[in-house]
Structure 1
Amino acid sequence: MVLVMALAVLISYQLGSAKALVIIDFYDVLGEASTLILAVLGLLLMVSTRPQGRVTDHFYSGGLILVFSLSLDLLDEFVHYPDDLRLVSWLESLPQPLGLMLIAIGALEWRKEHLLVTRQLATREKVLREHQWLDPLTTLYTARYFHYLLQREISHAAESAQPLCIAHVNLICFSRFNQSYGSHAGDKLLHHVSELISLLLRPSDCVCREHSDRFLILLPNTDYAHARQLLAGLPNAITSELNTPAYLGCQVTLHEVKEHSAEQALNALTEAAAHTSADVQRGITRAARARA
């Protein structure tokens, strides 16, 4: 940005000559300088707060073009150009529509991005935003939030006679992964797993982190068969998309909620998950013995 403004100064003083102070209209200088300063501050704020990507590139490119034109427009108050020179006038006015067009394209892309982010956020927040219940590692909500939301959905399901399912997702041998690659890699994996689960769920669903390598999923208006179909590809997606080691698996346990309280439903899900985990461990042991 500094180079763009320096280029504008260089062009102005190469093609023109400085005006006498007595003929400078400082009210015009104040107005045009304020516009330039606001454009620069807006561009700096956008670049410093947004991640890199196509939207940021459009805003940044359009902003630089506008800063260049506005800089020439301000310098026009200090520099006199020959009457037959039209180049500076063109440089002041012609790039502005291009810069505004790039910013408009960036705004359209930003809207698309916002809709996608909102859809993904819906699987995290559902209907309540309480950031004291937010898990700082995965940015998912915690088991406490899930308990609150589950109780609410149980009441709603009872009134509407709609099915309700919950699911438990457990990463098998995650402790071994931590020991092999370190806790930093383990934290990074958990974050990627949370992002992948959120992406694969429907906007009406909700995923929370229960503890360490365990996640909870709420599936409203979904019976057991449909829930099983929805989550059937989740273990394979986690292991294949994230390129995890062969020993790292994913266990998904489903439970159709018939209980009248969230605590009873979660206890039933925990028991089902424990039975599934025992079966998985027995399968791993048999496989290890067969290889031996």
Structure 2
Amino acid sequence: MNFSLLTRHRGLLALVLSIIGIALLLSVINGELKPVADIEWLDVVGEGSIGLLTLCWILVVMISRPPGKVTGLLVAGLSLFNFSALLDVFDEFTYYPPNVDWVSIVEPIPAAVGMVVMSYALYLWHQEQLALNRQLQRREMWYRAHDQIDAITQLYRAGYWRARATELQAQHVPASIVVLDINDFAQFNVRYGHAEGDRFLREISQLILMNLRAVDLACRYAGDRFVILMPDITQPDAAEFARQLECSIRHVAFKSGGQTTAIFHSVRSVCGELNQALPLAQLMTNLNRQLDQTSQQQSVA
């Protein structure tokens, strides 16, 4: 877990701690301790679990999301709900005299208000998620699996791509495949270092995404090799797309470190057609072999 985001939520942390403190003060000031024999320990465990889990949810929200309207409303709603939950827990240890029984009467109100606030927050989260889905077009296809995202390029890895391609095969959806490989990338890493190599891969990934249609999927296949799945497109059209993409990458003026001199790099590509006649594994083996042969021919030339 990444707890660094907590430092950006100081205001929300103060709100959460204040609400906990107010609930505790209300019980201590207005209530009187029950005899131990009168405490229902099963209720303590059940109601205490609700309060503790709500605090855990609040923590998860704050370490998962940057500051913003949705984050603030989620934390506020959960905190109000937790206020009522904590009063419930403290009720198991105290009882209120008749002149302050208003505490028990108002106890469920914050929870109800909190649920309304969280409902509005979830509506805004839904709107936010729709916007994020649009941002992730060409990075994912139908299915989200954050554990399969490549840390360097922020594209999905080969396993995710194979799963989506297999689904297209099973649904008999015609599609083309483009496999790209960066020429002499090992030499690039030796000359400029792996950190610059990773940055170059990220730049190439962004350029690939810029050239794709909304329905296409680009993934990092392995090392400096990328694979693109293009539904409902013929192989000649995919080949033309690959040619245009090669041209775009060839004109990228990459600058390493503080240098002002541009570094130009090229890629090579092969295309294939996804069909039911040939297993996906065999098709990818053939395409990778073609790509390696192209590299050898360029080296000889």
TM-score band, normalised by the shorter chain?
0.5 to 0.7
- Which residue of the partner structure matches residue 228 of structure 1? 241
1:18 — aligned with what? Answer: 32
- Cα RMSD (Å): 5.4
The answer to whether the 8 Å contact 1:168/1:253 transfers is yes
Q: Does the 8 Å contact 1:167/1:217 carry over to 2?
A: yes
CA distance in 2, matches of 1:234, 1:94: 61
User: For residue 48 of structure 2, what is the aligned residue in structure 1?
Assistant: 33
| Superposed CA offset, 1:228-282 (max 9, x none) | 3995997599879xx9976245646565536974444445556678899999xxx
**After alignment, is 170-179 or 213-222 more displaced?**
170-179
Q: Tell me if structure 2 keeps the 8 A contact 1:164–1:221.
A: yes
- 1:80 paired to 2:125: no
* Counterpart residue identity of residue 65, structure 1: L
Q: For residues 213 and 103 of structure 1, do their structure 2 counterparts lie closer, same or farther at Cα, with a shift above 3 Å needed?
A: same
- Decide whether the 8 Å contact of 2:77 with 2:115 is kept in 1: yes
Cα gap change, 1:146 to 1:17, in 2 (>3 Å): closer
Unaligned runs of 5+ in 2: 1-15
Aligned to 1:5: 20
| Cα offsets for 1:144-193 (capped at 9, x unmatched) | 8868987997x789x77x5625152638989658855x534543553575
- Measure the CA separation in 1 of the matches of 2:90 and 2:251: 58
Change (3 A) 1:41 1:248: same
> In 2, distance between residues paired with 1:225 and 1:213?
24
* 8 A contact 2:138–2:218 mirrored in 1: no
1:164 aligns with 2:176: yes
- Whether the 8 Å CA contact 2:180–2:268 is kept in 1: the answer is yes
Give the Cα–Cα distance (whole angstroms) in 1 for the partners of residues 261 and 272 of structure 2: 33
Could you tell me how far apart the structure 2 residues matched to 1:13 and 1:148 are? 58
In structure 1, how many angstroms separate the alpha carbons of the residues matched to 2:125 and 2:179? Answer: 34
Amino acid in structure 2 at the alignment position of 1:18: E
SS of residue matched to 2:99 = coil
Q: Output the TM-score relative to the length of structure 2.
A: 0.58
One-letter code aligned to 2:182: N
After TM superposition, the structure 1 = structure 2 runs for residues 186-265 of structure 1, keeping only pairs within 5 Å, are 186-187=197-198, 190-191=201-202, 194=205, 197=208, 201-202=212-213, 204-223=215-234, 224-225=236-237, 228=241, 235=249, 247-249=262-264, 251=266, 255-257=270-272, 261-265=283-287
Matched residues in 2 for 1:79 and 1:32: separation? Answer: 16
Kept in 2, the 8 Å contact 1:62–1:98? The answer is yes
- Name the structure 1 match of 2:157: 141
Q: One-letter code of the match for 1:140?
A: Y
Equivalent positions of 1:47-86 (< 5 A) are 47-48=62-63, 50-52=64-66, 54=68, 55-77=70-92, 78-80=94-96, 83=99, 86=102
Asked if the contact 2:137–2:215 (Cα under 8 Å) also holds between the matched residues in 1, the reply is no
- Measure how far apart 1:104 and its partner are: 2.3
TM-score calculated relative to the size of structure 1: 0.59
* Count of aligned pairs between the two proteins: 267
1:104 to 108, 113, 119: 119
Change (3 A) 1:239 1:56: farther
Aligned residues with identical type, % of pairs: 20
